[in-house]
Amino acid sequence: MRLTEHTAAVKAIAWSPHQSDHLAFGGGTVDRCIRFWNTTNGHQLNSVDTGSQVCDLAWSKNVNEIVSTHGYSQNQIMVWKYPSMTKTPVTDTGLWSLGRTQI
């Protein structure tokens, strides 16, 4: 399978725990998109322009949602309902580590 839709480096990849042949990819600063692919047939299923670099992706194990973390230019965390890709409201939070461990 060859993916040619991203216009910048792919920064994040995550398998769906709900559909074993669904794979999500997050694009870099120029691309800014999360794209979903069916690995069985190689077709793009869905995409959304997030407005900033996608740094990481993680699927919820309980509901069909995906969390994306972002760098330049928005530096934020977003939760998306899949497959509609509507944003789920997220309360503003701050993360810090007293013991200098990763959170």
Which has the closest alpha carbon to 47: 68, 19, 74? Answer: 68
* pTM of the model as a whole: 0.82
- What digits encode the pLDDT tens for the residues 18-28? 999 999 999 99
Please count the other Cβ atoms lying within 10 Å of the Cβ belonging to residue 13: 11
What pLDDT digit, counting tens, does each position of 35-77 carry? 999 999 999 999 999 999 999 999 999 999 999 999 888 889 9
Phi (first) and psi of residue 65, to 5 degrees = -135, 155
The per-residue pLDDT for 103 is 47
Name the residue ranges covered by the structural domains of the chain. 10-88
